[in-house]
Chains A and B, each alone.
Chain A
C-alpha cells in the first residue's frame, strides 16, 4: 500500500517514514528538498519534492496514495516572518485535506500537539478538557486553528481522519530546531546547560519518539474517525528531568535555579533584541509566562482505545543519551 508522509525530514516524520518502510509500506516522503540530510534512505522510501503550500505538488505526491500522515508543521520557537506559522500550519493543513479529498485518499492521520491545551492546573488534561489560557504562543494558536480545519473536514464525512496530539517529544533523532528536549540534553552532555527555571518543580509531559510513532500507526489502523488522541509519556518536573539525565549519563554538572522573574525580564530584552535586529531570540516572554504552569497530560484514551504504550522516562532517556553520544 502506498502512503504519503508530509514533513518527512521532521523529528517525528522521519522516524515515521522509517517505521512504515520497515513494515513494508511504499512510503512517499514529502520534503521541500530531497537532498535533506535528515531524509532516511530505504528501498521502500521514495523521496518526493513538494511543499504543502503548493497544492499542485501535493496533488502529484498523493497520486495513488491510500493513506496520508500529515506531520509537516512550523514548530520552531521563532520565525523571522511571523505569518509563516499561519501559512504552514493552517493554510498548509487545509491544502493537505482538500487535495487528499480530491486525490482519492482514504485515511488521514493529522499530527497536532498537546499545545492546543497548553497549561494545566492540578490534574493532567485529557481530550475533553477545555483550554484554560489564551493563545499568545504562535505555534499553539495556529495548531489550534488547524485542528478547527480538521474538525470541519471531519464533519463533512467521507474520509477517515484522526488527530493525534503528542506532548513534548524526545528520543533517538537529530537535534532539530524544534526538538527542545534534544537541545537541552545535548547541551547538558557537553556541559553547556547551566540553568533550571524557577524552583524546578514545574511539570511537563515527555513522550518517547518510538511510542509516538507507534501511536501514529495505531491511530491510522485502530482509531475512530473524527477523534483526537493524546500521545504522551510521563509527567516529569525539571528537577527530576535533569536528575535522570545526570544518573543515566553519569555526568554531573552544576545547575543554577534561575528565578522566573529574571527569566521574564531577560525574555523581554530578547524580544526587543529580535525586533530591532531580526536576530533569533534565545527566549520570548510568552514562553517565560508558560514556565509558571505545569503541562500534564493523560494518554489514557490512546492506551485503552489504540493500545498505546508508554516507555518509562528513564529507559527512554537512556536510549536518547546513547543516541546523542554516538551521533
Chain B
C-alpha cells in the first residue's frame, strides 16, 4: 500500500487529537493544523515517537483567508499529497443569541462554514486521481435537530450537512469518498467535561468519549459510509426524529425550552 497522508484541522485538542491518534495507529501520516500555542509540536513529536509515522504540523489561524492556500502551498513545498482531509475544526456555543457579540458569530461562521468549504475545494484540486481520496466533514446531531441556544452553531452544521450530501451526489462514481460525521455530545474540552458530567438519563447516554467517536468515524470513512452517527442512543434519536410528526417535535422542543428558561 502507498503511504497515505491525512490533514486534520483543529488537531491539538478533543476530537481532533483523537483523530490524529486513531489515524496514526493505522499507519497514516499526518499534517496537523491548529492555532499557535496549543501544544501541536509536543503532540507531533509524541505521535512520531510512538507510532512511527511522518507528522508535519502548521500553527495557523483558519479564520484568516491566507491560511487556506498556505496549507496546500506548504504541502506542495514538502512534496506531500494528502489522501484524507478531516474537516474537524469548529467553534461551538451554548448561549442565547443576544448574549454573544458579532465578532464571535463572524468567527464561528468562518471556522465552521467557510473553512471546510474552501479546504475541500483546495484538497480536491491536489488529490491524486489514481488513488482513493477521503473527506470527513464533522457535522453534528445539532445539524438535524433544532436546539435552543445553538442557533448559529446548529445552522452552520446544517450547512455542512447540505454541503456534504450534495457533494456526495456530485462526486458519485469518482475516486473521492466523502462522509458526514454526526456525533452527539463528546467529552472534549474542560468546560464540557464538567457540564456533560452533570447530565442525567438520555442526555447522559448521548455523550461519548472522543477516542471512541474517532475510531467509529475513521472506520466509516474508510468504508465510504455517507453518514456516520456514533452511538446506539444517538441513532435511535435520529430514527425517532424521522418518525415523529413535526407538531409533536415542536411540543417537545417547546417544553425543553421552558425548562431551560426556568433554570
User: In whole Å, how far is A120's beta carbon from the nearest beta carbon of chain B?
Assistant: 8
| Across-interface contacts of A129 in B (CB, < 8 A) | 42, 46
Inter-subunit contact B211/A122 (CB<8 Å): no
Task: Kindly list the 8 A-B residue pairs having the minimum CB-CB distance in the complex, ordered from nearest.
Answer: A134-B209, A121-B50, A122-B50, A130-B43, A128-B42, A129-B46, A132-B21, A134-B210
- Stretch from B98-106, B117-125, B190-198 forming part of the interface with A: B190-198
Q: How far is the CA of A235 from the CA of B242 in the complex (A)?
A: 52
Which parts of B151-179 form the interface with A (CB within 8 Å)?
none
Point out which of B21, B43, B187, B197 has the most chain A C-beta atoms below 10 A from its C-beta.
B197
In the complex, whether B49 has a CB less than 8 A from a CB of chain A is: yes
Q: How far is the CA of A134 from the CA of B21 in the complex (A)?
A: 12
Query: Which partner residue on chain A sits nearest B51 by CB separation?
Result: A121
Q: How far is the CA of A130 from the CA of B212 in the complex (A)?
A: 18
Inter-subunit contact B211/A130 (CB<8 Å): no
Inter-subunit contact A130/B194 (CB<8 Å): no
Q: How far is the CA of A136 from the CA of B210 in the complex (A)?
A: 10
In the complex, whether B17 has a CB less than 8 A from a CB of chain A is: yes
In the complex, whether A43 has a CB less than 8 A from a CB of chain B is: no
Query: Which partner residue on chain A sits nearest B13 by CB separation?
Result: A130
In the complex, whether B36 has a CB less than 8 A from a CB of chain A is: no
B residues with a Cβ closer than 8 A to A are 17-18, 21, 39, 42-43, 46, 49-51, 187, 190, 193-194, 197, 209-212
Q: How far is the CA of A136 from the CA of B212 in the complex (A)?
A: 11
- A119-159 Cβ-contact flags toward B at 8 Å (1 or 0): 00111000011101111101001001100100000000000
Query: Given contacts A121-B50, A123-B50, A141-B197, are A130 and B190 in contact (CB under 8 A)?
Result: no
Q: A132-B17, A133-B211, A134-B18 are in contact. List 19 more A-B contacts (CB 8 A).
A: A122-B50, A123-B49, A123-B50, A129-B46, A130-B17, A130-B42, A132-B18, A132-B21, A132-B46, A133-B209, A134-B211, A134-B212, A135-B209, A138-B197, A141-B193, A141-B197, A144-B193, A145-B190, A145-B194
Inter-subunit contact A134/B46 (CB<8 Å): no
In the complex, whether A86 has a CB less than 8 A from a CB of chain B is: yes
| Across-interface contacts of B46 in A (CB, < 8 A) | 129-130, 132
Inter-subunit contact A135/B193 (CB<8 Å): yes
| Across-interface contacts of A136 in B (CB, < 8 A) | 187, 209
User: In whole Å, how far is B88's beta carbon from the nearest beta carbon of chain A?
Assistant: 16
Query: Given contacts A129-B42, A134-B210, are A86 and B194 in contact (CB under 8 A)?
Result: yes
Query: Which partner residue on chain A sits nearest B42 by CB separation?
Result: A128
| Across-interface contacts of B197 in A (CB, < 8 A) | 82, 86, 138, 141
Query: Which partner residue on chain B sits nearest A131 by CB separation?
Result: B17
| Across-interface contacts of B210 in A (CB, < 8 A) | 134
| Across-interface contacts of B42 in A (CB, < 8 A) | 128-130
Inter-subunit contact B49/A122 (CB<8 Å): yes
User: In whole Å, how far is A157's beta carbon from the nearest beta carbon of chain B?
Assistant: 18
| Across-interface contacts of B21 in A (CB, < 8 A) | 132
Point out which of B17, B39, B46, B210 has the most chain A C-beta atoms below 10 A from its C-beta.
B46
Inter-subunit contact B193/A145 (CB<8 Å): yes
Q: How far is the CA of A141 from the CA of B39 in the complex (A)?
A: 19
User: In whole Å, how far is A118's beta carbon from the nearest beta carbon of chain B?
Assistant: 11
User: In whole Å, how far is A78's beta carbon from the nearest beta carbon of chain B?
Assistant: 15
| Across-interface contacts of B17 in A (CB, < 8 A) | 130, 132
- A94-137 Cβ-contact flags toward B at 8 Å (1 or 0): 00000000000000000000000000011100001110111110
Point out which of A132, A144, A148 has the most chain B C-beta atoms below 10 A from its C-beta.
A132
Q: How far is the CA of A122 from the CA of B51 in the complex (A)?
A: 8
Query: Which partner residue on chain A sits nearest B213 by CB separation?
Result: A134
Inter-subunit contact B50/A148 (CB<8 Å): no
- A51-83 Cβ-contact flags toward B at 8 Å (1 or 0): 000000000000000000000000000000010
28 contacts between A and B (CB under 8 A): A82-B197, A86-B197, A121-B50, A121-B51, A122-B49, A122-B50, A123-B50, A128-B42, A129-B46, A130-B39, A130-B42, A130-B43, A130-B46, A132-B17, A132-B18, A132-B21, A132-B211, A133-B209, A134-B18, A134-B210, A134-B212, A135-B187, A135-B209, A136-B209, A138-B197, A141-B197, A144-B193, A145-B194
User: In whole Å, how far is A238's beta carbon from the nearest beta carbon of chain B?
Assistant: 22
Query: Which partner residue on chain B sits nearest A121 by CB separation?
Result: B50
Inter-subunit contact B187/A134 (CB<8 Å): yes
Q: How far is the CA of A168 from the CA of B167 in the complex (A)?
A: 51
Query: Which partner residue on chain B sits nearest A122 by CB separation?
Result: B50
- A276-314 Cβ-contact flags toward B at 8 Å (1 or 0): 000000000000000000000000000000000000000
User: In whole Å, how far is B168's beta carbon from the nearest beta carbon of chain A?
Assistant: 30
Q: How far is the CA of A130 from the CA of B17 in the complex (A)?
A: 9
User: In whole Å, how far is A26's beta carbon from the nearest beta carbon of chain B?
Assistant: 37
Q: How far is the CA of A125 from the CA of B214 in the complex (A)?
A: 22
Q: How far is the CA of A121 from the CA of B39 in the complex (A)?
A: 18
User: In whole Å, how far is B249's beta carbon from the nearest beta carbon of chain A?
Assistant: 31
Q: How far is the CA of A133 from the CA of B18 in the complex (A)?
A: 7
Q: How far is the CA of A129 from the CA of B197 in the complex (A)?
A: 26
User: In whole Å, how far is A83's beta carbon from the nearest beta carbon of chain B?
Assistant: 8
Q: How far is the CA of A86 from the CA of B197 in the complex (A)?
A: 10
Q: How far is the CA of A134 from the CA of B42 in the complex (A)?
A: 18
User: In whole Å, how far is B215's beta carbon from the nearest beta carbon of chain A?
Assistant: 12
| Across-interface contacts of A144 in B (CB, < 8 A) | 190, 193
| Across-interface contacts of B18 in A (CB, < 8 A) | 132, 134
